[in-house]
């Protein structure tokens, strides 16, 4: 059963996609005719509904992949291939608190909000107001804004929050903000970074190596699609190759050296004959 306010994805035979919140009295206008939402409810997920011109549309419950791909963007967003690995590496799950900086259009923010659930929280910083507003609209559109605290602020002066389980920076010069991370996360928290070039990665690694960070990792993720035709199975002519470097590090609270008390000087042993030691 499709509930009011639930997201619905309608796909045409030509793979044209329409996503919107379900309103039982609403309707969707496409270039292949009008679709009544009451007909969508009657069909249900996984079934077909027809426009008033008789064109079929498949009714689906959108996945997280669908939500990310449907984000209205003014910036480059992270690809699902990076997001999937990032979620596992940072240990994001229901109830997690995550700090993000560099909201952009809100692609990763959408994935984080989906994953932390209603018991978790995403805190995202974006210095540019136009991107801040765009991300807010994207989150409201998919019904996830209540899980996100947006902050229209640069992180030059640090983070407002502390005790986060994980942190991710998608900013141009992340090495400039490493000193702010210890006050923002719990000891042992995983931190992630996205950078497009090798010289930026090198600069970040220098900073991480000098700070309280361990378990450094640098990688890129490549995806090669194959043509799904049984008789002519072969790779696609094009592939989504390099879209950025992922860098990970675990924040470790500096270990305090134990205080070692100097032993008291031992008293000289008396000679066996009981005489004065100075006379020996």
The CATH number linked to 71 is 3.40.50.150
CA–CA dist 182, 206 (Å, integer): 17
Distance CA 188, CA 180 (A): 15
Residue 273, pLDDT score:
63
Residues 86 and 224 in one domain: yes
* Separation CA 253–CA 212 (nearest Å): 6
Does the structure show a pLDDT above 60 at 279? no
Q: Do 95 and 217 lie in a common domain? A: yes
> Dihedrals φ, ψ of 136, to 5°?
-60, -45
- Return the exposure string of 194-210: e unless at least 16 CB atoms fall within 10 Å of the residue's CB, then b: bbeeeebbebbbebbee
The answer to whether the beta carbons of residues 123 and 112 sit under 8 Å apart is no
Residue 280 has what pLDDT? Answer: 47
> Are 51 and 114 in a shared domain?
no
Mean pLDDT of 220-241: 94
Stretch 61-74: mean pLDDT, rounded? 93
Helix residue spans in 105-242 (DSSP H): 107-116, 129-141, 198-210
pTM value is 0.86
Establish if 24 belongs to a structural domain: yes
Give pLDDT, residue 77: 82
Domain that holds residue 241: 66-251
Residues 156 and 51 in one domain: no
pLDDT digits (tens, 9 = 90+) for 79-132: 999 999 999 999 999 999 999 999 999 999 999 999 999 999 999 999 999 999
Please check whether residues 220 and 110 belong to one and the same domain: yes
pLDDT for position 74: 87
Mean pLDDT of the chain: 92
**One domain for residues 129 and 160:** yes
Instruction: Return the SS3 of 37.
Output: helix
**Looking at the predicted structure, is the pLDDT value of residue 277 above 60?**
no
Q: Structurally, how many domains does the chain consist of?
A: 2
Burial track 11-28 (b if 16+ CB lie within 10 A, e otherwise):
bbeeeeeebeebeeeeeb
Q: What is the mean pLDDT of residues 50-66?
A: 96
| 174 and 211 housed in the same domain | yes
Rounded to 5°, the CA angle 104-110-114 comes to 160
Q: Do 143 and 226 fall into the same domain?
A: yes
Residue 2 covered by a domain = no
At 17, list the tokens: 């996609």
Residue 129 makes CB contacts below 8 A (sequence gap 6+) with 152
Pairing of strands 213-219, 185-195: unpaired
pLDDT at position 250: 98
CATH number of residue 52's parent domain: 3.10.330.20
pLDDT value at residue 75: 86
Separation between Cα atoms, residue 110 and residue 117, nearest integer Å: 11
For residue 253, what pLDDT band results from cuts at 50, 70 and 90?
confident
| Whether residues 125 and 47 fall in one domain | no
- Whether 274 shows a pLDDT value over 60: the answer reads no
Span 62-69, average pLDDT: 94
More confident residue, 253 or 66: 66
């Amino acid at each position: 059963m499709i509930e009011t306010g639930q997201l619905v994805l309608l796909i045409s035979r030509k793979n044209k996609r329409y996503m919107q919140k379900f309103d039982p009295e609403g309707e969707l206008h496409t270039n292949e005719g009008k679709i009544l939402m009451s007909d969508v409810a009657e069909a249900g997920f996984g079934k077909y509904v027809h426009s008033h011109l008789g064109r079929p549309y498949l009714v689906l419950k959108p996945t997280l992949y669908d939500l990310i791909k449907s984000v209205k963007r003014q910036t480059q967003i992270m690809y699902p291939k990076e997001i999937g690995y990032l979620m596992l590496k940072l240990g994001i799950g229901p109830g997690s608190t995550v700090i993000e900086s560099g909201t952009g259009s809100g692609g990763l923010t959408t994935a984080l909000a989906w994953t932390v659930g209603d018991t978790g929280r995403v805190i995202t910083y974006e210095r540019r107001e136009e991107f801040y507003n765009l991300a807010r609209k994207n989150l409201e559109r998919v019904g996830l804004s209540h899980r996100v605290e947006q902050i229209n602020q640069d992180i030059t002066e640090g983070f407002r929050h502390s005790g986060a389980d994980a942190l991710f920076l998608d900013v141009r010069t992340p090495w400039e903000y490493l000193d702010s991370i210890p006050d923002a996360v719990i000891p042992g928290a995983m931190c992630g970074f996205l950078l497009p070039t090798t010289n930026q990665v090198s600069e970040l690694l220098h900073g991480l190596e000098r700070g309280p960070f361990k378990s450094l990792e640098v990688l890129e993720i490549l995806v090669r699609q194959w043509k799904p035709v049984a008789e002519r199975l072969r790779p696609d002519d094009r592939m989504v190759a390099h879209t950025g470097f992922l860098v990970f590090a675990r924040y470790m609270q500096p270990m305090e050296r134990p205080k070692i008390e100097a032993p008291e000087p031992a008293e000289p042993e008396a000679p066996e004959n009981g005489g004065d030691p100075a006379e020996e």
